[in-house]
Chains A and B, each alone.
Chain A
Amino acid sequence: MGVMVNGDGGKSVKYNFYRKAGRSIIERRPVFSPDGESIAIIVENIVRVYNIQTGECVRILETESPVNELIAIQFPENEDYNLYGCSDTGYVTVWTWANGAVLRETKLNLPTNTKVLTFDLVDSTECCIVTSQPNNKFLNLNTYSTKTGELLYDYRDTKPMYGDMICVSLGWCNGDRYAAVSNGTKVLSIQNLQQPHLKTRIINHNGYRIMSVAAHQKTNAVAITDTLGRATVIRGNLFDYKQVAREVMHWHFLPPLATCFSLQGNYLYTGGMEKVLVKWTIGDLAYRASEKNFIPRLPGMIRFITTNNTHVALTLTNNSVVIANAQLRVLGTLLECGGVSPASRAVGGALLHVPPLSALLTAARTGHLQLYSTNTDKVLYNLDITGLNNLPSERWNLLPLETEVTCAAVSGNGDWLVTSEYRNDGITYPEEKLKFWAAQYKNSTPFQLNTCVNLSHGGCNVVSLSLNYKGDFCVSAGSDQKFRIWKKENTSPSNKGKKFAWSCLTACYYSSGIGQFISNDVLNGFKDGFKHKPGRDEDLPYLREVDKKDDVIKKLFNIHKEQSLVNDEANRVCTKRDSEFDMGGVAISQDGSLIAAWFGCKLTLWDTHLCNLSTTLSHPALRPKGVHVQFGNRDAAHYLVCTTETCLAVWSLLSLTVKWLVQINPTCLVSHRFSNKLAVVTTNNDLHVFSPHSSAPILTKKRLLDPSTGVFKQCTFGTCFDDEIRLYLMRNDSEIYCLEPEQTEESHLEVISHRKLPTSNFSALLAEQQLSEVTPATADGNVIDVNNLAGSTIAQFSLASPHMVPPVGLLCTTFLQRLSGTEDIEQLDDTEEDKPMEIDEDSSDDEDASSKLNGPYAPKVTELWTPNYEAVKEKKLNKMMHEPFLDLHSSSSLFGV
């Protein structure tokens, strides 16, 4: 008989650290695929393709050479089977849409250190980009060839000032392509791309700042939105600011961040901070001009709008893309982790592991928590914790303070969830609610509200929460320097049914017990009702002025990553008091008999059953204030691990002494329920996994990420077996990272590239290859002359007496257009064409010196000056055809023969 020895322990596991979720999918504008079945979304340096019907990621397109960030993707109109994308460094990648392979990659010939800001395709060979260079406050508007990467033209005259809010849209005006550029000022620049001298600067009415611009794809029209909330459609000859007409549509009262024409151009979509999408009826459908349609109550502000013929996609600030059909019925939401509001980002939110679902509970948009499945990398549920409506913004108060979920805890078996929400605007009495949620994983909502305690700490916010393993009792620590013990009780009348409610057993405190209440002067200030009268149109500075340093509009534009919107003063408004006994973390021991709580620099231990203080632990190194505390589990249950801002200490509960102490700067401390391990993350993003038995860590990972990009504020253990460690970490920008053992699984995925689908009965009648040599019959007398017919019909129609004719508004628009005769194609002016080129040549000498022109695709400067390039070319060809090929006289004079 031999004794089986466990493995030598030399099982060295390699750990992988990677980003799990929470990438931003709202950074750039998405595009619909030409077949209308899917939508392509830029996620940093890759393109994800989502199916519109199911809302699932179907495939991922990657670039061949590594790029940092993709700027834009687009299907060119003349080559819509290929997808073009451009990176911030100027790599243009072309994917074939059918199988997602990289077809070609071109590097645009940009000067060094140039950053591409926008990318729009003129056609498949030419693109229009806006670039910025460091140390240069002006941006450059250029066209480049997408085939060779050469610079085609540098539009020197249209140089927008630097701004984060640059918005470019390409449209057609009088048969030429133009670029409409707005940059968050009152000026809209229109630049003809074919004829660089044609350009205008259109100033917005009243000088309000322009937020976004969209160009009509067919007619001479461009739509802008401004800070006052107006959407203006500018029509007419856009190259002459005197010949434009404006149609102002005003529904929004806050700055709309996005606008977009429908593909046919009969509708205009606008949306922004009100979280409402407005669909305006414009253009030819003039008889329905006053009609508007809405999608109200969207979960976030609208950043971008994309349309195709059947669908509208809205990019929202809560890191989601909402897809609606043309009738504005929401079909689905593509949801990614994160999308946390700035206030909640400042608070830090929560990151908890819910074992029964093997899901992570993370912070989400205002008043919500999100359940994210770690198995399948999908957001399972959005839990509405506060159950409150959005507070609407106002012009003088663009970002009202909302109730945010500040703290949350889950019991070890996942049966109970406790959340705390808080709102203190310094004007009204603070709102605070402690909510106990019972798990019901079988139903459509995983947690059901069981007990709601209003003002559980008398108006002070809850600092930390802790639940024991079974979910029997709960401890909440508040900034009123007390912690309260909550107990689950069976409240059913017969004691047999299972109706539970939570009630407060007692409040424990380490100070005099005299109430620490909110005593801020601000609370005694009267609410000034006259200050902001509703309906009064105030001229607020952000509406017109472009503030360089502290531009609130610019911040709102990037609200999903802007950190500076929450000022810390507002956060700390609540109290003016003695902070000696401020509460830090609380923890419940594994068996539930002890409660550990930080009161200032004193770590106190309390008996759970008698609710009285048993011991106070203090150490000079733990001054001035404790932050976290955790009990060890399993064989380390007699240790208590605590952190302050500068150190980590382990107490032995048997001897009541400090066992060991390390000087680090922890941001987060968590313990694993089923092993003796704990994990601590520091301010320079070091991760240490340790057991309280020894001060030598089990696993150390130094500088997991650059601390300047963000610090890990939340951390939790996932489900792990044996000695494995699986940790989830959340950075303060709500990206979730994962550390888990390396898995070596070799498997190749088969690619379904060949598609063989059963044909319909009708397609069975069609041959795969069709060739017909029958020459089409020439027109003979039978053919009806449509034009003549129309003319006679109109004549007949207009001969009728007026009272017999139906109202003009009901008549078909095309008929009306025919009557008015606008559709007539303008005949080319012969006189202009007859002008010989010599006149141009001498005038363009100075131009030649200044402009850089290279590449075979660039038209000559002289041609750029002439009004119609094609016509000139045709004329030239005609000339060549008709004139003798070799003129002896001229050639002899030329060669000097």
Chain B
Amino acid sequence: MAEAAFSVDGKYYSAITQDGRLRIWDTETNVLKQEYTPDLHLTSPPSCLQWISATQSANTQKGGRRKSISEETHHVALGTTSGKILIYSVSQAKVETVLSNENSHSGITSLDWHSKYGLYSCSKENSVCEWDLQSSLIRYKYNVSVESKNKHGNIRAIKIVPHKQNTAARYLVAASYQVKLWRLHDGEATIIKNLGHNAAPTALLSIATLNDVCWLIEGSQNERLLSFWDVTISDEHVPQMNGDETPHKKQRRKSISKAPVTTATPTYNFVLEDAPRLVDVELKSEDGATRLSLAAATRSGVVHYYGLMLNGSSTKPIKPSVTIQVTSADARPLPLQCCRLPPKGDLLLGYWNGPVMTFERVIPDLKTKTQILIRGEKEAKKKGKQDGKQGRENETSQVTYVEPLGGVARKRATPGDKVEVPMEARLANLALDVKGRSKSAVSQNLTKLLMQGLHSKDKGIILTVLQKDDPAVALRTVSNLPADYVPQLLEQLADMATRKTSQCASVCTWLSAVVRCHSALLLATMGSRASDHLTQLLAIFTNRRSHLCQLLNLKGRLDLTISQRSASDIAQDEQEPVLNYNDSSSDEEMEAEPYQSDSDASWGDDKFESDASAQEEADSDGD
């Protein structure tokens, strides 16, 4: 009885919800693709589902030509408790056809499909039907009920066993309290094997095949155990051999008349933490041996992964190689729902992350016993409207923007922020006089100040120190600097080196001091963050140096031009003026101006007037 399953290629995951809806997720993009509510979903809810592949066009059946995947469209067969089977097409998002049995209306308990054998359903009356999808009719109907005295259980799970024998017979495992392997041939069902008992009527069946060998994994609804059975169909199970079957084998159960083989103990047992919810298995041939990978999601919400080389049988239960759990950052477990082993070697997991189902591909870490994935955010503090804004801010703040040529990240003022610099600081900035300060310093040692600045990351203090472009001061300051502060100092220097040339010049001075005083330390801490900053500084200086040649060239030319230009200016200045006119009335004019400039609006006119009057005065003087 499968209420959840992956599609054949693993693209989709579908599950029947509590209220009888079918939900289909896209596992690659984590999207809930479709939700389908069947008619009468509350009175006769779907009981089981099965992915099938079918096509709609008639002429794609040409042999030999390779079919692309999109051609075979995904369908989900839904068995309902009213006895109908809905074939739901995922690509068309609608029910394609409804298979119904006119004679009986007992609920479908289990469905199974195999690309070679078609769709099988099992009803509550313990009858297995083989369906012909083309005509929506029953091809065969088999009765697989077992008369049993103590426990009468309906068949709750069926599984087709593929085989490579040359026979038209089909083989099927049916599980109620007893698990049996049946042969279905021409409308007749015969028991071939008994595969032990089950603790609950509902079983979880899964089939693994490799070449000719076929294994069954069987888990019960309330047992913390998976059993692993060999259900390979061999020659002796072919109907022709029916008469002289199994004379040499022991008969353990007398109650069964047809003498089927009873295998009491499975080949392997796998221990689980809780009853299984979904099992996936894969067999792989590896260097001649067979490797079994088994993944099982349990009801407690963990996934067990078993890796095993098949080798004989073992009665001792096998413990999981890895147990995978998912929790949120604040240790809230996120229940795992499903698991699948894609042929890639990794593990596809699905878990509830809050209200959403999330799928993830994980490579099982076989070095540890438990693998815990921390996913999901902490419980978000509810802040109402601010949430959206915060999210957007987060998004932008997650991106780091780097300067051209890979300069060091500079912290940008967020746009719209108010710059509030106190007046004192502004004045201090204006009044900053490097030479003057260095003279007034108490001593030529700024170690304390630098340490203080580095410790508090106060840009102002650091800049006051590092902008002193004096080798002696730098050497004295750095030589006393404790080793702890050297990486921080380098970081600051690397930051400053990307700034203006004047700053970069002082960086050179300070860096040479650092290298002279702390070379041993720098060598010792090779490979740490400090050395990263050194390489960065090297890169910056190299880059700057690469321009040096051209800049010097330019500077030379400019100097030349300027000197020539200034030379000519000087020459002009030195010339005697042709006419030197000394205006005696300038004093009067100076006095006149303050009176006139009172009216701001007519400033220009006044000036003109004053000029004009001055002109007049000059004229009159000249006269």
Contact = CB atoms under 8 A, between A and B. Distances in A.
A and B interact: yes
Interface of A: 4, 6-7, 16, 18, 37-38, 48-49, 51, 53-54, 56-62, 64, 99-102, 356-359, 373, 375-378, 380-381, 441-444, 448-458, 484, 486-487, 489, 491, 499, 501-507, 513-515, 609, 611, 719, 721, 746-758
B30 A503 contact: no
Contacts of A721: 345
B193 interface: no
Contacts of A377: 68-70
Contact of B97 (A380, A491, A756): A756
Nearest to A459: B404
A752 B136 CA distance: 8
Interface in B279-294: 287-289
Contacts of B58: 99-101, 751, 753
Contacts of B28: 357, 359, 373, 375-376, 378, 380
B68 A442 contact: no
B57 A746 contact: no
Interface hub of B60, B93, B98, B375 (most chain A Cβ within 10 A) = B60
A749 B114 CA distance: 10
A422 to B, nearest CB: 14
The CB with the most chain B CB atoms within 10 A, among A454, A457, A502, is that of A454
Given A376-B69, A501-B409, A748-B115, A754 B55 contact: no
Given A61-B59, A757-B95, A750 B11 contact: no
B465 to A, nearest CB: 23
A504 B52 CA distance: 53
A751 B54 contact: yes
A101 B59 contact: yes
Contacts of A102: 59
B443 to A, nearest CB: 34
Contacts of B543: 507, 515
Given A454-B401, A505-B532, A513-B546, A484 B98 contact: no
B93 A51 contact: yes
A110 B114 CA distance: 48
A520 to B, nearest CB: 18
B226 to A, nearest CB: 26
Contact of A504 (B72, B344, B358, B406): B406
Nearest to B406: A504
Nearest to B72: A749
A752 B134 contact: yes
A58 B91 contact: yes
B480 interface: no
B400 A501 contact: yes
Nearest to B60: A60
B134 A753 contact: yes
Interface pairs A-B: 8 shortest CB-CB: A504-B406, A100-B57, A747-B115, A56-B91, A501-B400, A455-B404, A101-B58, A506-B539
Given A442-B358, A754-B134, A757-B97, A51 B91 contact: yes
A442 B360 contact: yes
A438 to B, nearest CB: 9
14 contacts: A62-B62, A100-B59, A378-B28, A441-B361, A448-B398, A451-B399, A453-B406, A454-B402, A454-B403, A458-B404, A746-B116, A752-B75, A754-B97, A754-B135
Contacts of A375: 9-11, 28, 342
A789 B98 CA distance: 52
A451 B400 contact: yes
Given A4-B287, A506-B536, A456 B406 contact: yes
Nearest to A512: B546
Interface in B39-72: 39, 52-62, 66-72
Contacts of B361: 356-357, 441
Contacts of B504: none
Nearest to A507: B539
A515 B96 CA distance: 68
B10 A755 contact: no
A53 B135 CA distance: 26
Interface string B509-542: 0000000000000000001000010011011001
A452 B412 CA distance: 14
B90 interface: yes
B133 interface: yes
A746 B30 CA distance: 32
A489 B529 CA distance: 9
Contacts of B71: 57, 59-60
A502 B56 contact: no
A263 B358 CA distance: 44
A559 B432 CA distance: 63
B98 A756 contact: yes
B96 A755 contact: yes
Contacts of A486: 406
B1 interface: no
A450 B408 contact: no
Contacts of A452: 399-402
B466 interface: no
Contacts of A515: 543, 546-547
Nearest to A454: B404
Contact of A754 (B136, B360, B398, B404): B136
B405 interface: yes
A59 B55 contact: yes
Nearest to B33: A54
Contact of B60 (A747, A749, A756): A749
B92 interface: yes
Given A376-B28, A442-B30, A58 B92 contact: yes
A324 to B, nearest CB: 18
A143 to B, nearest CB: 29
Contacts of A750: 52, 54-55, 118-119, 132-134
Given A356-B361, A380-B28, A4 B406 contact: no
B596 interface: no
A758 B40 CA distance: 12
From A102, A359, A376, A755, residue with most partner B Cβ within 10 Å? A376
Contacts of B527: 609
B73 interface: yes
Interface in B386-411: 398-409
A755 to B, nearest CB: 5
Given A51-B91, A503-B402, 17 more contacts: A48-B70, A54-B34, A57-B70, A57-B73, A58-B56, A100-B56, A101-B57, A378-B28, A441-B360, A456-B406, A489-B532, A502-B400, A505-B535, A507-B543, A750-B132, A752-B133, A758-B98
A53 B53 contact: no
A402 B389 CA distance: 32
Nearest to A499: B398
B338 interface: no
Nearest to A441: B360
A450 B409 CA distance: 13
Contacts of A501: 400, 402, 409
Contact of B55 (A359, A502, A505, A749): A749
A491 B539 contact: no
B331 interface: no
A359 B28 CA distance: 10
B38 to A, nearest CB: 10
A450 B95 contact: no
B601 interface: no
Interface in B1-34: 9-11, 28-31, 34
B133 A453 contact: no
Nearest to A455: B404
Given A507-B539, A747-B116, A59 B98 contact: no
B549 interface: yes
Given A442-B375, A750-B133, A757 B98 contact: yes
A503 B407 CA distance: 8
A755 B97 CA distance: 5
A696 to B, nearest CB: 25
Interface in B85-132: 87, 89-93, 95-100, 115-116, 118-119, 132
